[in-house]
Structure 1
């Protein structure tokens, strides 16, 4: 009898001790970053700081890689209400998550209060001189330069023929295959070839090197959405290795282009983005270093080919789920082709402007599904949003 009682006491004390230990460990981040704020802590956003070191990162990554990525935010909403702003601990530091359009607009448009705030783990992968690690003014300047090359009617007219050629060749290759294709993988390759042409021009990289580059970028991109654990076997470790390989490859490309540029007369051919980077000057009048150029190329290639591939994939999936929309989109394309003159070869810029319904399909796809899982900003000072304080808790 006494022995049985002592066993129950031992079990109860063990369970009680485990519960206390759980509460202490689970609340460590709250004590370390929130409690020290004193009375101010009552006006900071509600939320969950998660586990020590890990924070809420694991649940974020789990949700993002699942069929229901919105479940991460939904969990905060169900626990803390629809405030639109929550505290968390992600990417190794305390942070504030904003979710409503009104609050997001304020954060993204107030450049004087909020600047770029990408985590160090992402900056290591993309480079300190890429868009992720530079000042706001420099970011705007580089964006003006690159957007002129990538977007707009002038850019599309320049690259339209090449884009069509890449797509047609890829479709022929798929038809010759005796096995099913991985659609996202193939779309990555198409997008990668197009963007490489925009950056490196006509004298681009041969197919074998192109394929190796695309694989390295796939590895790099997986590391961007993983825990920053630099140990063999982890995605982040593999991504760091991929970045080193990409740096070596593009350093060789830049060196070869410098030699070619020195022997080419001005005006002989249209400038590609790589040449524009080589001629670009910093605010102090100095040219960009090879490291800076490689970082910019890495960022553009990774972001461009990954986002384009996912957008096309989701557009195809959504069209399959909405046959009436697919029917209208096909009818528009067939109507454009029927109006062509007999001697016309290939797609024209004028025809792309006539694709009004297809443009709406693409816009709706990007509204429903967006590859950008988050945008990072850092407050330069304490900010009051909806009566809540966004405080530097680090």
Structure 2
């Protein structure tokens, strides 16, 4: 039995022990943290020396990482300030976190080419769910491996250089003339809408054989809804962009399937055979589902690349009267025939410079999304399996170290003999508006032909005045935020009024 003094002594001892324990916990915590820091330092150094570390970067916010910074940067500026800031801080290859997952972002042209050339080997394409759902699981954009190579070869064959000359040249011009002739003198338009209609008219005609004005207008609206949903939240509920886009996809697929059925009827095959779909059905053995996704992929890729580059070319020319006048002089100096010949198209050197410069500053493929298939060693870095890899193509195109006064529209730069090596857009690491490697855009030559012919007919027929200030945005898709509102004036009407 404890006496009072014993109990007091015991209580004192307990309090003393409690006090000492309370002092030990912070000390132990500090010791553990110090050990962790030392371990990370040693391990990090080991990884560095052993070529086993990620590129430098920051983790960002919990769960979402730098996703919001990325979104704000891409949607509000070009080049994105967030990317510029990270390059200045960490170098041309850096890491960041997108929705909590590590991503390696590159503005290094050599590394970007390394990624594109190793498509299917070390890296594979990776897209958000909304994009995969809309373009379809059987499309050339989303397929991997053997199936992708086969469809890519088919699309490349359908749009070979010789076929542009014999199958596309006159068709494109007829559609261009028909569409632009519908515009009126003194009419106020949103050129963005007109370019979208021109592009979808061409693609629907070339791919499906569709030429009805009503059907073209419907397809233009469907593709507007379709494109808006490609980078949206995948919430399939009325009122959400993704839901509207999926409904648009269903209607487009339905139209493609009706065209396929029409082609298979003896009386209808002749009407469809002139289009790419007709040749595809005749020359290839593919399931209908694959054909439908294949066509919607070509419609999407052709419409986005062509329409937006047409728009941006006029937008840039509007800001550079000297370039506009030189381009007009070149186009007016071509044949006096109503229709241009292949020789006329090959006699447009300055037009090609304008197209190259437009694609450099306002290229639609500003970045690519890839995923490492295995641990990939590059220089002093190891990119772990499953990590996102983002070759940022426009960061290379707008690099002041590669292009003097890079943010200025200057088509004459492409006439400089010293820059000709960079201009090879099929294999140059410094200029890749159509991607590269196994996923190089098979419709690149077709797109350039369409853009050149559009510039010819638009400039020959019209003058214009801009009515509203505008700027480029690249999220959720490339566009001018106000649609480029202009007032058109037919050139011959202007000449009459001047007389």
- TM band (smaller chain): 0.7 to 0.9
Residue 132 of structure 1 aligns with which residue?
Answer: 141
Cα distance in 2 between the residues matched to 1:227 and 1:386: 36
Residue number in structure 1 paired with 2:222: 216
1:105 alignment counterpart: 113
3-state SS of 1:365 partner? helix
| Offset of residue 274 of structure 1 | 0.9
Residues 139 and 290 in structure 2, CA contact (< 8 A), matched pair in contact too: yes
* 2: CA distance, partners of 1:83 / 1:160: 41
2:144 corresponds to 1:141: no
Aligned residue number for residue 248 of structure 1? 254
Kindly indicate whether residue 273 of structure 2 is the aligned counterpart of residue 273 of structure 1.
Answer: no
Q: Pick from 67, 89, 93: which aligns with 1:57?
A: 67
- Deviation (angstroms), 1:362: 0.7
User: TM-score, with normalisation over the residues of structure 1?
Assistant: 0.77
Paired with 2:127 and 2:160, the residues of 1 have a C-alpha distance of: 25
After TM superposition, give the deviation of residue 371 of structure 1 in Å.
Answer: 0.9
CA RMSD of aligned residues (A): 2.8
Query: Of 164, 167, 176, which aligns to 2:173?
Result: 164
Distance 2:242 2:69 in 1: 17
Q: Residue 370 in 1 paired to residue 363 in 2?
A: yes
2:310 aligned with 1:317? no
Q: For the structure 1 residues 83 and 161, does the alpha-carbon distance in structure 2 shift closer, same or farther, using more than 3 Å as the test? A: closer
Is contact 2:93-2:104 (8 Å) kept? no
Deviation of 1:279 after TM superposition, in Å, equals 4.1
Mapped partners of 1:48, 1:244: distance in 2: 41
Instruction: State the number of aligned residues.
Output: 340
Q: Which has the larger radius of gyration?
A: 2
- Secondary structure in structure 1 of the residue aligned to 2:183: helix
The residue number in structure 2 matching 1:225 is 231
SS in 2 for 1:59: helix
Deviation of 1:170 (Å) = 2.2
Q: Deviations over 1:263-322 (max 9, x none)?
A: 758xx99653212332455xxxxx322111111111110110111111111111111222
Moved segments of 4+, more than 6 Å: none
Aligned to 1:327: 325
Q: Which residue, 232, 237, 242 being the options, matches 2:243?
A: 237
Quote the residue 1:180 is aligned against. Answer: 188
Q: Distance in 2 between matches of 1:73 and 1:144?
A: 35
- Report if the CA contact (8 A) 1:116-1:136 is conserved: no
Find the aligned partners of 1:51 and 1:393 in 2 and give their Cα distance: 21
When residues 251 and 58 of structure 1 are mapped into structure 2, their CA distance, relative to the original with a 3 A threshold, is farther
Instruction: List runs of 5+ in structure 1 lacking aligned partners.
Output: 1-34, 282-286
Matches within 5 A, 1:283-362: 287-337=285-335, 340=336, 344-362=337-355
Number of the residue aligned with 2:470:
none
- The residue matched to 1:167 in structure 2 has which SS? helix
With normalisation by structure 2, the TM-score equals 0.62
3-state DSSP class of the match of 1:371?
Answer: coil
Question: C-alpha separation between the residues in 2 aligned to 1:255 and 1:384?
Answer: 50
Structure 1 counterpart SS, 2:291: helix
CA distance in 1, matches of 2:124, 2:130: 18
2:368 aligns to what SS in structure 1?
A: coil
Counterpart of 2:124 in 1: which secondary structure? strand
Structure 2: gaps spanning 5 or more residues: 1-39, 388-499
Higher relative helix content: 1
SS of the residue 2:363 aligns to? coil
